[in-house]
Amino acid sequence: MLFNSVSFAIFLPVVFILYWLIFNRNLQLQNFLLLCASYFFYACWDWRFLFLLVFSTLLDYFTGLKMTESENQKSRSFWLWLSILINLGFLGVFKYYNFFAGSFTQMFSNFGLNVNPWTLKVILPVGISFYTFHGLSYVIDIYKRRIKAERNFIDYSLFVSFFPLLVAGPIERATHLLPQIKKVRVFNYHNAANGLRQILWGLFKKIVIADQCAEFANTIFANSASYSGSTLVLGAIFFTFQIYCDFSGYSDIALGVARLFGIELLRNFAFPYFSRDVAEFWRRWHISLSTWFRDYLYVPLGGSKGGTWLKVRNTFIIFLVSGFWHGANWTFIIWGFLNALFIMPSIIFKTNRNNLEIVAKGKSLPTLSEFLHILLTFCMVVFAWIFFRANNVTHAFNYLGRIFSRSLFSIPSFDVNRPQLLETIALIVFFIVIEWNGRENQYAIETLTKLKSRNYRLAFYYALVLIAFLFAGKEQQFIYFQF
């Protein structure tokens, strides 16, 4: 069930009405309803993998209880590692087994040895990377005595599988979400209206920007050998906006839907393409994953407490693991390596905390220096996204090879509907203007609530709805569902 589908447009109001009108006087019934809705939502993808989600939930629930009940450190360590190994084992089998099998086959073939390992012919369970990390953070926090195990199985299960975040995040923490699940929730019109606005903006980003950019990006990447370097640059830029509007659009919808039920999820994006350096970009891109790796991998490795070499080592480890988390392909690992390389100057010269506030805060325009830094950072990000989007390493290098050729200075051209191309570019410009004007808010159009004229606000909302309606109908899957 996609957020941008007719089925979800029916599903959400039904759950909302039952939640606030039928079960509003009983918190446990509300949580049970949300849990049932979440399992139904997940089963719509493939009901067979629902058993894997339930098993993962049971595993972490019981290991959490065992660690809380035990004062013996060896026993606590046993239950912790049992949970980690089983969770990562399932993730490894479904997501990475075929990758390693193929890599070993290639390695042996280079030495003239013919090896044919057994491979799995199963699809990747949607959301497995996300709900696995929910459970891992929970058991690790219990082990570190930051929290105690949740004894109410319904509440814990809802924390793991709350449907807005189930398949593509944000990656929640028990310290943030569980207290909200256990707290009585009262309907708040302001929060609900705010949630609807965020859902609208998320749908606009997905349907109008991401899906339109996808058509051109897919065409150019699929036929990269036939196009000039300038056209390939245009294709990389289209993909850059596609992945941002696709993923942040999903996150906006998820946060908005959660607000309808009185729950605040972690923010996942903070206008990353307005960043002045790569360090700032990673504080603003996929925030829940970045902070997860920071807290559960980077800090345990020593973080930034040691010397420069330790910081460099830990940074490369984080980005390589982050790349590998995204998928079983060497292109993702190279993407992670490039981002680590790009961030190195700020780590070495200790400037990685220079840009903590949003750019040009309180101003209409950035300074020339800020603009040039934003442009340079954007170009570096676009370069790295080429590896992320490419089918394989050879495709990525061939793509870059054609970019850095004489054809880079030619006029971009390819066989497409030119009016549609110009229309898409105009929409991207419109989108950038709205994002820039709303960059100091949680999401771009939240700033419209400050307009005194209610008619202006409504006119803008209706315009977004109309534009989204005109581009609707494709119901394209969100990119991060594959991770």
The CA-atom distances, in angstroms, between 302 and each of 299, 339, 342, 347 are 5, 20, 21, 15
Q: Residue 131: what residue type?
A: Y
Give the closest residue to 30 by CA, choosing from 40, 42, 44, 16. 16
Please identify which residue in the block is written with the tokens 């929730």.
185
Give the list of residues 6+ apart from residue 41 with CB closer than 8 angstroms, or none: 1, 11, 163, 166
For the question of residue 373 being annotated catalytic, the response is no
Q: Which of 176, 190, 286, 326 is catalytic?
A: 326
Handedness of CA 241, 244, 250, 251 (dihedral sign): negative
Please identify which residue in the block is written with the tokens 């060896």.
74
Please identify which residue in the block is written with the tokens 């110009």.
422
Longest dimension (CA), the chain: 74
3-state SS record for 360-419: CCCCCCCCHHHHHHHHHHHHHHHHHHHHHHCCCHHHHHHHHHHHCCHHHHCCCCCCCCHH
Task: Report the alpha-carbon distance of residue 154 to residue 31 in Å, rounded.
Answer: 7
| 267, 287 contact by CB (below 8 A) | yes
Q: Any idea which residues carry the catalytic annotation?
A: 326
